[in-house]
């Protein structure tokens, strides 16, 4: 019996060691997931947190340091941070959302200080709460989760959602180490699985393959902002370390040593050049004081250099751009102010959710995205708790049905020509190249869409898997699905705005200052958000005041 | 990518097997774990932090494997160098109080 067929009949199997009843299931143990789980558990609910890797090292934050928006209420700092985000959002953010994220993050960073995260003290003797080291932050959160009674399932990717009368009611999956299947029945589910970077090797992102996006779509959830995903991070050409912050103090050159022309941002200058030849960087504008700050602040930034014998402050090194897809792009599950998706009982937080409310059409980078994860984790945890409380204890007796499709339940006979590595490569061929995805054109996007639609049809018919590769199979399907939502939205937005750069529509069109929704599995669609429900009124609007 | 589990340093605690976000290692009873899926390594260096014995080495090369020599790595001070730079000891966190990241915001060039 395959893992898939084991998982299929979860409602009929007797409870076993690997079947859990919970009030809330959180899928994904990065910053958004750990906060969602902790918040829900603090309200006295039973919470299970599953993570495909390990709660502490999983997700993009764990591998790096992250800037945080730390701005006390009624401070000039707060006003400036809010104005900055608003000004950079290309007209698609929501001021009320920006304010509540900033305020929530301030409270939660203070929590971390109270819980013993050793924040550094600056030269003036003030604690600096504007940055977190990923591994330390998540290890602390893991301890808090244990203390709060959250059951953590490490190395346990979710493979499909369980549904009860159209509402999310749990999930089932597999343990990658033991190969045992697991099932969690719950009153509400929070998707906190992060974004999708298509195995680009951008730092800490190879576990981020859009898994939760696929699960949610199979339950009928829709997406927003998927076109704002042409986000790439600068890295040494040989290494994974996409820490962009150091390149603020860099000089970029071509093979012959001529400085690259700087029109637009750093990424665009490099992207244009990489189309024709190699590009190089040297971090030659950092003072000695700053160099020490970088070294003692961001040790992993220097691992590629120290281990290759390169001094990045004096020696130039080749650089490349690695796709950060929806991880540091914008798009994800469309959510309301409670982080609820359009599927009852299904909530989303962090990079799995669209960050348009906070960053509009532009990259959240590390700081805003990490702040978003912290804030929406808390919002989602609270809202899921309220949903379950409303539902009452009867949710434990609901009959559930497995919602997963492709890769678990093929329509036809096994197609032996379908090879996971080749499928992955085919998706990467549409999503990673700069001339296809950084610089987009209508015909190019449409050709990509046709190729991926063909692949989807083939996979739908004949992609099967064994317990050995079922998690990898679903990751591959999730990447394929995510790529198709991105393409649909990118085709639909016939202008350039923020992270969406159309060579055939280079201008921003004021008439298109609105969100695009996307969704579907066999028939993928994208269209402007039109109804009132789809574009909720700003939470409390100061737009005019800020614009004037 | 991960290139070394030092047979002399490893204490067979298997912390790396659980902590690896990419499920690269396989446990072996009463012996050091093996690098079972080297190409799944995402070069995030996190296993080095979780190793209590400084027994792991992740090469910074993300796309190709390199042959490493344990004695040379030790001589170059590279075995356990990430954990030391961070201030982690024996697999336990430490050192955030020495984080000088705030200097990057002093000039006002970048703001979160």
More confident residue, A547 or A123: A123
The pLDDT value given to residue A1: 33
Nearest to A238 among B27, B50, B61 (CB): B61
Number of domain units in chain A: 3
A204 touches chain B (CB under 8 A): yes
Is B112–A367 a contact, with Cβ atoms under 8 angstroms apart? yes
Within this chain, do residues A62 and A193 fall inside the same structural domain, yes or no?
yes
Residue A408 lies in a domain: no
Within this chain, do residues A113 and A258 fall inside the same structural domain, yes or no?
no
A118 touches chain B (CB under 8 A): yes
Residue A111 lies in a domain: yes
Instruction: List the single residue in B with minimal CA-CA distance to A235.
Output: B62
pLDDT over 80 (residue A12): no
Interface of A with B in 370-399 (CB under 8 A): 371
Within this chain, do residues A303 and A193 fall inside the same structural domain, yes or no?
no
Within this chain, do residues A340 and A318 fall inside the same structural domain, yes or no?
no
Q: What is the pLDDT of residues A351-372, one digit of tens each?
A: 999 999 999 999 877 789 999 9
pLDDT over 60 (residue A8): no
Within this chain, do residues A269 and A335 fall inside the same structural domain, yes or no?
no
HEC per residue, chain B: CEEEECCCCCCCCCHHHHHCCCCCEEEECCEEEEECCHHHCCCCCHHHHHCCCCCEEECCCCCCCCCCCHHHHHHCCCCCHHHHHHCCECCECCCHHHCCHHHHHCCCCCCC
In this complex, how many residue pairs, one in chain A and one in chain B, have their CB atoms less than 8 Å apart? 168
Is B45–A303 a contact, with Cβ atoms under 8 angstroms apart? yes
Within this chain, do residues A41 and A171 fall inside the same structural domain, yes or no?
yes
A52 touches A205 (CB < 8 A) = no
Is A57–B20 a contact, with Cβ atoms under 8 angstroms apart? yes
Contacts of A316 by beta carbon, 8 Å cutoff, 6+ apart: A253, A280, A281, A282
The least confident of A35-44, A410-419, A435-444 is A410-419
Q: What is the pLDDT of residues A148-192, one digit of tens each?
A: 999 999 999 999 999 999 999 999 999 999 999 999 999 999 999
The pLDDT value given to residue A547: 52
Domain span at residue A46 reads: 3-10+17-74+96-229+326-354+364-402
Within this chain, do residues A129 and A237 fall inside the same structural domain, yes or no?
no
Q: What is the pLDDT of residues A317-354, one digit of tens each?
A: 999 999 999 999 999 999 999 999 999 999 999 999 99
The pTM of this model reads: 0.95
Within this chain, do residues A185 and A112 fall inside the same structural domain, yes or no?
yes
Is A128–B81 a contact, with Cβ atoms under 8 angstroms apart? no
Instruction: List the single residue in B with minimal CA-CA distance to A121.
Output: B97
The pLDDT value given to residue A9: 37
Q: Which CATH number characterizes residue A262's domain?
A: 3.90.700
pLDDT over 60 (residue A5): no
Chain B residues closer than 8 Å to A155 by CB: 18, 23
More confident residue, A342 or A263: A342
Burial level of B55, CB count in 10 A (0-12/13-18/19+)?
buried
CATH number 3.30.70.20 given to B2-105: yes
Within this chain, do residues A187 and A241 fall inside the same structural domain, yes or no?
no
As a whole number of angstroms, the distance between CA A8 and CA A159 comes to 10
As a whole number of angstroms, the distance between CA A307 and CA B61 comes to 9
Chain A residues closer than 8 Å to B22 by CB: 53, 206-207
Q: Which of B16, B18, B58 is nearest to B41 (CA)?
A: B58
Is A120–B103 a contact, with Cβ atoms under 8 angstroms apart? no
HEC per residue, A169-219: EEEEEECCCCCCEEEEECCEEEECCCCECCCCCCCCCCCCECHHHHHHHHC
B29 touches chain A (CB under 8 A): no
Within this chain, do residues A452 and A370 fall inside the same structural domain, yes or no?
no
Mean pLDDT of A30-34: 98
Beta strands in A414-524 (DSSP E): 516-519
Mean pLDDT of A9-21: 62
The pLDDT value given to residue A138: 98
As a whole number of angstroms, the distance between CA A108 and CA B24 comes to 33
As a whole number of angstroms, the distance between CA A48 and CA A37 comes to 8
A229 touches chain B (CB under 8 A): no
Domain boundaries, chain B: 2-105
Q: What is the pLDDT of residues A233-257, one digit of tens each?
A: 999 999 999 998 899 999 999 999 9
The pLDDT value given to residue A546: 56
B86 touches chain A (CB under 8 A): yes
Nearest to A62 among B46, B103, B109 (CB): B46
Is B112–A67 a contact, with Cβ atoms under 8 angstroms apart? yes
The pLDDT value given to residue B9: 97
Q: What is the mean pLDDT of chain A?
A: 92
The pLDDT value given to residue A3: 38
Q: What is the pLDDT of residues B53-91, one digit of tens each?
A: 999 999 999 999 999 999 999 999 999 999 999 999 999
Q: Encoding tokens for residue A328?
A: 């540091």
pLDDT over 70 (residue A135): yes
Q: What is the pLDDT of residues A90-103, one digit of tens each?
A: 999 999 999 999 99
Within this chain, do residues A239 and A295 fall inside the same structural domain, yes or no?
yes
Residue A407 lies in a domain: no
Residue B39 phi/psi, 5° resolution? -75, -10
As a whole number of angstroms, the distance between CA A7 and CA A173 comes to 7
């Amino acid at each position: 019996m395959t893992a898939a067929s084991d998982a299929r009949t979860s409602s009929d199997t007797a409870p076993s060691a690997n079947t859990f009843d919970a009030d809330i299931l959180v899928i994904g143990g990065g910053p958004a997931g750990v906060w969602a789980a902790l918040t829900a558990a603090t309200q006295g609910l039973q919470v299970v947190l599953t993570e495909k890797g390990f709660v502490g090292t999983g997700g993009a934050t764990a591998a790096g340091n992250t800037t945080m928006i730390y701005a006390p209420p009624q401070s000039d700092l707060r006003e400036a941070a809010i104005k900055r985000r608003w000004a950079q959002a290309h007209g698609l953010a929501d001021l009320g959302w920006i304010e509540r994220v900033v305020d929530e993050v301030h409270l939660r960073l203070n929590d971390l200080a109270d819980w013993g995260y050793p924040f550094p003290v600056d030269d003036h003797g003030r604690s600096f709460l504007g940055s977190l080291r990923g591994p330390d932050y998540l290890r602390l959160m893991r301890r808090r989760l244990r203390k709060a009674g959250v059951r953590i399932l490490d190395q346990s990717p979710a493979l499909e959602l369980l549904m009860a009368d159209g509402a999310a009611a749990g999930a089932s999956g597999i343990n990658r180490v033991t190969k045992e299947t697991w099932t969690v029945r719950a009153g509400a589910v929070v998707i906190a699985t992060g974004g999708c970077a298509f195995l680009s090797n951008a730092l800490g992102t190879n576990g981020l393959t859009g898994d939760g996006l696929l699960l949610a779509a199979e339950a009928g959830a829709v997406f927003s902002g998927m076109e704002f995903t042409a986000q790439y991070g600068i890295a040494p050409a040989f290494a994974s370390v996409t820490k962009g912050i150091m390149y603020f103090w860099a000089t970029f050159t071509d093979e012959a040593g001529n400085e690259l022309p700087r029109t637009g941002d750093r990424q665009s200058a490099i992207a244009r050049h990489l189309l024709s030849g190699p590009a190089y960087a040297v971090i030659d504008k950092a003072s000695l004081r700053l160099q020490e700050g970088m070294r003692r602040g961001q040790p992993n930034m220097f691992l590629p250099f120290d281990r290759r014998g390169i001094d990045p402050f004096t020696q130039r090194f080749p650089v490349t751009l690695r796709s950060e897809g929806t991880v540091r792009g914008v798009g994800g599950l469309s959510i309301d102010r409670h982080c609820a998706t359009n599927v009852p009982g299904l909530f989303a937080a962090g990079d799995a959710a669209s960050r348009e409310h906070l960053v509009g059409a532009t990259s959240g980078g590390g700081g805003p995205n990490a702040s978003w994860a912290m804030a929406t984790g808390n919002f989602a945890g609270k809202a899921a708790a309220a949903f379950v409380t409303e539902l009452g204890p009867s949710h434990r007796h609901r009959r559930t049905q497995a919602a997963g499709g492709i890769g678990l339940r093929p329509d036809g006979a096994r197609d032996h020509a379908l090879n996971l590595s080749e499928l992955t490569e085919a998706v990467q061929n549409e999503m990673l190249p700069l001339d296809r995805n950084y610089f987009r054109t209508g015909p190019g996007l449409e050709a990509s869409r046709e190729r991926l639609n063909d692949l989807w049809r083939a996979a739908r018919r004949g992609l099967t898997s064994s317990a050995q590769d079922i998690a990898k199979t679903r990751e591959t399907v999730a990447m394929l699905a995510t790529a198709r939502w991105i393409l649909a939205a990118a085709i639909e937005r016939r202008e350039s705005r923020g992270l969406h750069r159309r060579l055939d529509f280079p201008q921003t069109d004021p008439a298109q200052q609105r969100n695009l929704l996307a969704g579907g599995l066999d028939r993928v669609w994208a269209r402007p958000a039109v109804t009132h429900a789809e574009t909720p009124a700003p939470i409390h609007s100061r737009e005019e005041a800020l614009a004037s | 990518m991960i290139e070394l589990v030092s047979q002399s340093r490893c204490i067979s605690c298997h912390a790396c097997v659980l902590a690896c976000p990419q499920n690269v290692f396989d446990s072996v009873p009463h012996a050091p774990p093996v690098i079972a899926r080297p190409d799944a390594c995402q070069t995030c260096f996190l296993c080095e932090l979780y190793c209590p014995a400084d027994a792991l080495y992740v090469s910074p090369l993300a796309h190709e494997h390199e042959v490493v020599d344990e004695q040379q790595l030790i001589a170059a001070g590279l075995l356990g160098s990430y954990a030391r730079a961070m201030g982690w000891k024996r697999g336990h966190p430490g050192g955030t109080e020495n984080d000088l990241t705030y200097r990057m915001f002093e000039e006002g060039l970048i703001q979160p």
